[in-house]
Amino acid sequence: MIKAVRGTRDLLPPDTDLWNRVETICREVFALYNFHEIRTPIFEETQLFARGVGEDTDIVSKEMFTWDDRARAQSEKSQSLSLRPENTAGVVRAYIEHKLGETGKLQKLYYIGPQFRRERPQKGRYRQFYQIGAEVLGPPSAGSESPARDAEILEMLATLLDRAGINGWMLYLNSVGCTNDRPRYLAALRDALADVKDKMCEDCQRRAETNPLRVLDCKKPQDQPIIAKLPRISDYLDEDCRKHFAEVQNILTACGVPFSLNDRLVRGLDYYTRTAFEFTHGNLGAQNAILGGGRYDGLSEALGGPKAPGIGFAIGEDRFIMALAGENAEQYKAKPPQVYIAPMGSGMNAHAARLARELRNAGITVELGDEAFRLKKSFETAEKQGITHVLIVGENEVRTDSFAVKNLQSGEQISVARTDLARRLAA
Ligand code: HAM
């Protein structure tokens, strides 16, 4: 038997009802904040991620699904392509390619779709997973650099999580500085690590060379006392970064959005500058980050584009659903159809189909049976789906144009004229 590939999975009903509900809530909230959807391809040139996300990140160096796409005609070139491990690089590529900066406006874009990372699968971690994300970017003259944008994104997320019924989320906030102050911090970090890295785990020893910021992210208990004594990025922020970060916090406080500062929060992608954040949730266990994001003021230029500071986030939809399933999933269950139509006997399928068409056009949700079923089987089928009303289509009914409607809960059965059916069933 052929099964779904390790780290991928099928999403089936009724779970997909919950997924759709979550996506609908997100689209509603995005609309309230004037965000519009962008859809970019699920694969891109490998170079985009190498330059955008960073060659030395785990995501790019170990986790991408990459292949050589050979030329199929003289007009094509062979190239290295990758399934997208995240979508910010793709959105910024599209921003540059379509010259969206020339509109002079802020671009407020959201996306919903699959991402791919070859990680070790475990609960809440998949190789194909889904993100619901948003990005705000544009020329500085449009206000893209303002701390008000950071605060608005964070406040929108708080609203979104509250609306979806996710209780007890935590927002962790940090500033990771900019190209001006980061080199000083990295130098201090490298210096400090040179003395202690031999006592740290293998991953940290490697990161100390390739990507020292990532050392701060280490979860190994034995490394924690060492990390606690390393220099802190908050002590190295320059005046502008400090002010920017203070204003983000100021607005959040004014809006009543609770947060905790965590100056070890560095995130796994290289493009971040200034504000970086994660929301966590208790239901998720080890993979407790329900979403993450931050500012990326130099990303557009790194990809050969104009200056276009921006900030965004991506919700891990799989984890969002897990967090919900732990508390509020019941209310999102799709309702059963309003009526089950039971054609009774040969020749009745056509009459039942016509009736179903009329009722559906009137906005009634209908499940349609089959003339080959006995009445008892129709009742049982309806009951199993939680449908409370069965509409019987037999020769008598067709002749009189009046139909028996049985309420399976009360056992009551009444006869309703065709013209009155939709109204009665809606009630
Ligand atoms: P990220 O932190 O790599 O950020 O991913 C965002 C979220 O995606 C995570 O918090 C997690 O919930 C979910 N996620 C990541 N990997 C997996 C996985 N293997 N299985 C299940 N869920 C996963 C980004 O991707 C950035 N592009 C976010 C961003 C947008 N920053 C600025 N704009």
Question: For the ranges 125-139, 164-178, 244-258, 281-295, which has the lowest average pLDDT?
Answer: 281-295
Percent of the chain surpassing pLDDT 70: 99
On the question of pLDDT at 176 being above 70, the answer is yes
CB distance 357 to 347 below 8 Å: no
Q: Does the beta carbon of 290 sit less than 6 angstroms from any atom of ligand 1?
A: yes
pLDDT in tens, 3-48: 999 999 999 998 999 999 999 999 999 999 999 999 999 999 999 9
Backbone conformation region of residue 54, classed left if phi is above 0, alpha if psi is from -120 to 50, else beta: left
Give the nearest ligand 1 atom to 296 CA: 32
pLDDT at 254: 98
**Residues with Cβ within 8 Å of residue 309, at least 6 apart in sequence:** 137, 138, 140, 144, 145, 295, 296, 297
- Answer whether 54 contacts ligand 1 (Cβ < 6 A): no
Higher-pLDDT residue of 370 and 75 is 370
Q: Ligand 1 pocket, 280 CB below 6 A?
A: no
Three-state SS at 132: strand
Q: Which of 269, 273, 300, 317 to mutate to test the pocket of ligand 1 (most atoms within 8 A of CB)?
A: 269
Q: From CA 166, how far away is CA 156, in angstroms rounded?
A: 14
Task: Provide the whole-model pTM.
Answer: 0.94
Q: What is the mean pLDDT of the chain?
A: 95
pLDDT digits 0-9 by tens, 216-232: 988 889 999 999 999 99
Confidence of residue 328 (pLDDT cuts 50, 70, 90): low
Mapped onto helix, strand or coil, the DSSP state of residue 81 is strand
pLDDT at residue 284, rounded to an integer: 81
118 in the Ramachandran plot: left (φ > 0), alpha (ψ -120 to 50) or beta?
A: beta
